[in-house]
Amino acid sequence: MIPLSRGPAAELAPGDVVGLLAACHANVRARLAEAALLARAKSWDERHHASARAVHDYFAVAFPLHVEDEDVRIGPELLEHHGPTIAPLLFELHDEHERAEELRLLLLGDWARWRKEAGPVSRGHHHVLRRFARSTAVHLTREEQVLFPLVDALPEPTRIAIARAMVAARRG
């Protein structure tokens, strides 16, 4: 499932980039909660494997698209509109994306394996998942408080173009 092309995002007004980002953030939080449940599972059945598939597929496909939206489609427009004073913020957010990427890659292998096989869940997986979930939660909140208002301040034609590019990226 790649959420931006279906469900709540389909009901958003044209140019509602913040709505699209908020939908992504809700999906990230939901998949992280699902991943935490998987990591605590003591016995496995088909529901666990289906959950592992959903978590894996989200973090293998949709999550990188979300990061790409922020770094490639939104960041340059923010810099152009708001000027160089926001460059440090954009750099920090990009750096947080890079650190999250390292953790995401460490987790993907387990999630891929669990699509067909049961755990076990290693202590290392628990540790990496906790770090990924904690740092991602802080990052998402920061974006919602600081980045979203900057995005909303972009001119409407710019927001419409960004939203179209975000949806097009998911449709391939």
Domains of the chain: total: 1
pLDDT at 8: 46
Instruction: Specify the pLDDT at position 14.
Output: 74
| pTM (predicted TM-score) | 0.90
Per-residue model confidence (pLDDT) at position 66: 97
Instruction: Quick: pLDDT tens for 8-49.
Output: 445 777 789 999 999 999 999 999 999 999 999 988 899 999
- Residue 125, pLDDT above cutoff 70: yes
Q: Give 2-10's long-range contacts (Cβ < 8 A, gap of 24+).
A: 2/61, 2/62, 2/65, 2/170, 3/27, 3/62, 4/62, 4/65, 4/166, 4/167, 4/170, 5/167, 5/170, 5/171, 9/167
How many angstroms separate the Cα of 82 from the Cα of each of 15, 148, 160, 172?
A: 18, 13, 17, 30
- Range(s) of the domain holding residue 129: 3-171
What pLDDT does residue 2 have? 33
- Locate all alpha helices (DSSP H) within the chain, ordered by sequence: 17-40, 46-57, 63-68, 75-82, 87-114, 123-142, 148-152, 156-171
The 10s digit of each residue's pLDDT in 83-119 is 999 999 999 999 999 999 999 999 999 999 999 988 7
CATH number of the domain at 45, please. 1.20.120.520
